[in-house]
């Protein structure tokens, strides 16, 4: 609707409604884990827990909002899709979690509030798209914002810490830290090559720089670690 030359958004999601959405997603993830008798799907890895998954979602929301605002996307669509993008991650297989999450989002939005069907379907489509692995120039702007945010959460200091945590679960020592951080750098460069927006590319470069600092500090402080990240035994 347009009034005096200004577009009035009828689909705006206020802060209270959005906080309720996030609570729903948090509780949904927790229930997904609690319903499993054996813990399933490597729950002992921190990034397969409900707590980690919800924190990842919060990170993606922040990144997606930043990218959407800078790139001129519909911020409401992007942030709601970001909130639901991994809601089904812990209860279904990886290759169908996007579609399953989109159905949860659609059901939630239809049952809560008075959101237009066009808005609900747009959110549904963005959640489905977030697992797309092709050229990001081929997806709608809102979908691209979410995909870029999702991959960027795995880049930077957060990605480095998660990789170092993985060392403990794999019984590695700190002498392998540089090699593990190198994996984060490689992944970060791959993701930077994939993103297409100026905003996402800038964020990616900033985050890669932070990982490079961590890598340099490790090389300086771990005396038997060489420049290639290998160690003498």
Burial code (b: 16+ CB inside 10 Å, e: under 16) for 149-173 equals bbbbbbbbebbbebbbeebeeeeee
> Is residue 230 in some structural domain?
no
Both 76 and 117 in a single domain?
yes
Most confident of 62-66, 88-92, 93-97: 62-66
Q: How much is the pLDDT for 162?
A: 76
Please report, for the domain that includes residue 82, its CATH number: 1.10.3210.10
Both 18 and 88 in a single domain?
yes
> Is residue 228 in some structural domain?
no
> Is residue 233 in some structural domain?
no
The domain tally of the chain equals 2
Q: How much is the pLDDT for 5?
A: 47
- Taking only the tens place, the pLDDT of each residue in 165-214 is 776 666 666 677 777 777 778 777 877 888 999 999 999 889 888 888 88
Q: How much is the pLDDT for 225?
A: 61
Instruction: Answer whether residue 145 shows pLDDT above 60.
Output: yes
Both 137 and 168 in a single domain?
no
> Is residue 211 in some structural domain?
yes
Indicate the average pLDDT of the chain. Answer: 83
Both 73 and 53 in a single domain?
yes
> Is residue 27 in some structural domain?
yes
Most confident of 65-69, 131-135, 155-159: 65-69
Q: Are 123 and 105 in contact (CB under 8 A)?
A: yes
Both 210 and 144 in a single domain?
no
> Is residue 124 in some structural domain?
yes
Domain final position from 133, 149, 165: 149
Both 144 and 163 in a single domain?
no
pTM of this structure: 0.83
Q: Which residue has the higher pLDDT, 21 or 160?
A: 21
Instruction: Answer whether residue 46 shows pLDDT above 70.
Output: no
**Domain of 178, in residue numbers:** 157-221
Q: Which residue has the higher pLDDT, 119 or 193?
A: 119
Domain final position from 104, 126, 149: 149
Both 126 and 18 in a single domain?
yes
Residue 64's closest CA among 137, 152, 158, 132? 152
Both 16 and 111 in a single domain?
yes
Both 108 and 204 in a single domain?
no
Dihedral angle sign, alpha carbons of residues 84, 89, 92, 98? positive
> Residue 131: how many CB atoms within 10 A of its CB?
17
Q: How much is the pLDDT for 188?
A: 74
Q: How much is the pLDDT for 156?
A: 79
């Amino acid at each position: 609707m347009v009034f005096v030359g200004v577009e009035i958004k009828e689909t705006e999601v206020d802060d209270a409604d959005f906080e309720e959405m996030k609570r729903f997603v948090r509780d949904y993830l927790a229930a997904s884990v609690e319903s499993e008798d054996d813990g399933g799907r490597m729950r002992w890895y921190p990034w397969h827990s409900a707590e980690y998954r919800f924190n990842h979602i919060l990170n993606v929301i922040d990144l997606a909002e930043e990218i959407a605002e800078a790139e001129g996307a519909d911020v409401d669509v992007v942030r709601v899709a970001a909130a639901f993008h991994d809601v089904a991650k812990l209860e279904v297989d990886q290759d169908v979690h996007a579609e399953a999450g989109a159905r949860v989002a659609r059901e939630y939005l239809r049952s809560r509030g008075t959101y237009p069907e066009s808005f609900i379907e747009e959110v549904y489509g963005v959640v489905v798209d977030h697992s797309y692995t092709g050229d990001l120039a081929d997806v709608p702007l809102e979908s691209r914002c979410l995909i870029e945010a999702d991959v960027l959460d795995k880049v930077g200091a957060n990605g480095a810490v998660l990789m170092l945590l993985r060392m403990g679960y794999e019984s590695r020592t700190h002498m392998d830290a540089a090699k593990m951080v190198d994996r984060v750098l490689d992944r970060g460069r791959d993701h930077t090559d994939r993103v297409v927006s100026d905003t996402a590319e800038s964020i990616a470069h900033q985050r890669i720089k932070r990982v490079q600092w961590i890598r340099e500090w490790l090389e300086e402080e771990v005396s038997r670690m060489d420049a290639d990240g290998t160690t003498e035994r």
